Structure 1
Amino acid sequence: MAEPAFSLCVYCGSRAGERPEFAQAATAVGQWIGAHGGQLVYGGGRNGLMGVVAEATRQAGGRVLGVIPQALVDKEQANHACDELHIVQTMHQRKALMAERCDAFLALPGGIGTFEELFEVWTWRQLGYHDKPVGLLNVAGYYDGLLSFLRHSMAEGFMGAWQLGLLQVGADVDALLPALVQAAGFGQELVALRAVI
């Protein structure tokens, strides 16, 4: 397999959620990554949206890199179909390796693990620990409440507009993913590949 054109780290639920739109969005993300010659970096599980995005990436010809702690191998059902599967000892190792191996981050719907991962890489970005773009895919209004609270936090003086501006938010895969990949330093020619493929 050729070297991937880019690597996108996707955080998402190990559950599928209640709405079919969630799995549809995870499928669309995986298909976009694969169609553009990219690599998915994710939590290495087969359950829920994690499994959906990984399988969609693989089916679309993309490369899949999973990172999972030993303690979650059974619980999240480690995906041994990954092109590269790293089984690590701690969550800290998991998150550090995922961050190291990607060019940009994207959060899909998920639970507290997804929230924690999103906020950590967003915090790292504002502190200058990395300069990789961070995106939030707001599927079916799932993150409306969170976004409202973030604006409330800004209005109350605990966050600046520039910090909120570091988070790229969108509901459309075909708009948000190209924006993240371009912000990561990959040119328009990559995004234009879809018309050729």
Structure 2
Amino acid sequence: MSPPNFSICVYCGSRPGDDPRFAQVARQVGQWIGSHGGQLVYGGGRNGLMGIVAQATLAAGGQVVGIIPSALVEKEWAHHGLTELHVVDTMHERKRMMAERADAFLALPGGIGTFEELFEVWTWRQLGYHDKPIGILNCHGYYDGLTAFIAQVVRHDFMGQWQNELVSVQSDAAALLTSLVEQSGLSLPSRTELI
């Protein structure tokens, strides 16, 4: 198996949410990663948006690395059809391994687990623990409230605008993914390289 052109860590819900457009955008993200010869790194589950993005990446020819704590193997229904599935002991080990295996990070719609992972890599970046790009895919306005709140945090001087600018927020999946790969210093393969 040839090495992937890039590796994107995706944080997203283990539920599908109430709007079918969330599943549609997760599918688009997976298809984009796979069709560009990339690798998805994610939480290793087969339910919700997690399962959708993984299946779409595999179906488009991409590689998928799942990392899941043993305590969540049954709860999140570990996906055993991946390129790699790593069962680890703790959430800390899961997040460390996900971060190490990624060139960039992307948040799709999700719940508190998604938020916690997003804020952790954002914090790590502002502290200088890594310099990997981070994106939020604002699917159909899902993150409008969060971006408004972060702007309020900046206005109240609890964080600087430079910290806010460490994360790219876009509503177009292909444009955001392209930007994340390019910000990571990698280049996307040409169409002829993918054939």
TM-score (norm 1): 0.96
Instruction: State whether residues 5 and 39 of structure 1, in contact with CA within 8 Å, keep that contact through their aligned partners in structure 2.
Output: yes
SS at match of 1:148: helix
SS at match of 1:41: strand
Give the superposition deviation at 1:148.
Answer: 0.3
- Aligned mates of 1:27, 1:94 — CA distance in 2: 23
- Aligned mates of 2:109, 2:21 — CA distance in 1: 10
> Which residue is 2:142 aligned to?
142
Deviations 1:120-139 (A, max 9, x none): 00000000000000000000
Matches within 5 A, 1:122-161: 122-161=122-161
Q: Percent identity?
A: 65
Q: Structure 2 counterpart of 1:100, which letter?
A: E
> Which residue is 1:73 aligned to?
73
- Aligned mates of 1:45, 1:15 — CA distance in 2: 10
> Which residue is 2:41 aligned to?
41
Matches within 5 A, 1:1-40: 1-40=1-40
When residues 94 and 161 of structure 1 are mapped into structure 2, their CA distance, relative to the original with a 3 A threshold, is same
Q: After the TM superposition, which parts of structure 1 deviate over 3 Å for at least 4 consecutive aligned residues?
A: 191-197
Q: Structure 1 counterpart of 2:86, which letter?
A: H
Q: CA RMSD of the aligned region, Å? A: 1.3
Work out whether 1:162 is the aligned partner of 2:162: yes
How many residues are matched? 195
When residues 195 and 169 of structure 1 are mapped into structure 2, their CA distance, relative to the original with a 3 A threshold, is farther
- Aligned mates of 2:60, 2:137 — CA distance in 1: 20
- Aligned mates of 1:194, 1:110 — CA distance in 2: 36
Instruction: State whether residues 6 and 38 of structure 2, in contact with CA within 8 Å, keep that contact through their aligned partners in structure 1.
Output: yes
Give the superposition deviation at 1:2.
Answer: 1.2
Q: Structure 2 counterpart of 1:149, which letter?
A: F
Deviations 1:132-157 (A, max 9, x none): 00000000100000000000000001
> Which residue is 1:93 aligned to?
93
Consecutive unaligned residues in structure 2, runs of 5 or more: none
Instruction: State whether residues 36 and 194 of structure 1, in contact with CA within 8 Å, keep that contact through their aligned partners in structure 2.
Output: no
- Aligned mates of 1:13, 1:193 — CA distance in 2: 32
Q: Structure 1 counterpart of 2:186, which letter?
A: F
Instruction: State whether residues 122 and 134 of structure 1, in contact with CA within 8 Å, keep that contact through their aligned partners in structure 2.
Output: yes
Consecutive unaligned residues in structure 1, runs of 5 or more: none
TM-score (norm 2): 0.97
SS at match of 1:10: strand
- Aligned mates of 1:42, 1:68 — CA distance in 2: 9
When residues 100 and 196 of structure 1 are mapped into structure 2, their CA distance, relative to the original with a 3 A threshold, is closer
Deviations 1:29-85 (A, max 9, x none): 000000100000000000000000000000000000000000000000000001100
SS at match of 1:50: helix
When residues 194 and 157 of structure 1 are mapped into structure 2, their CA distance, relative to the original with a 3 A threshold, is farther
- Aligned mates of 1:103, 1:117 — CA distance in 2: 15
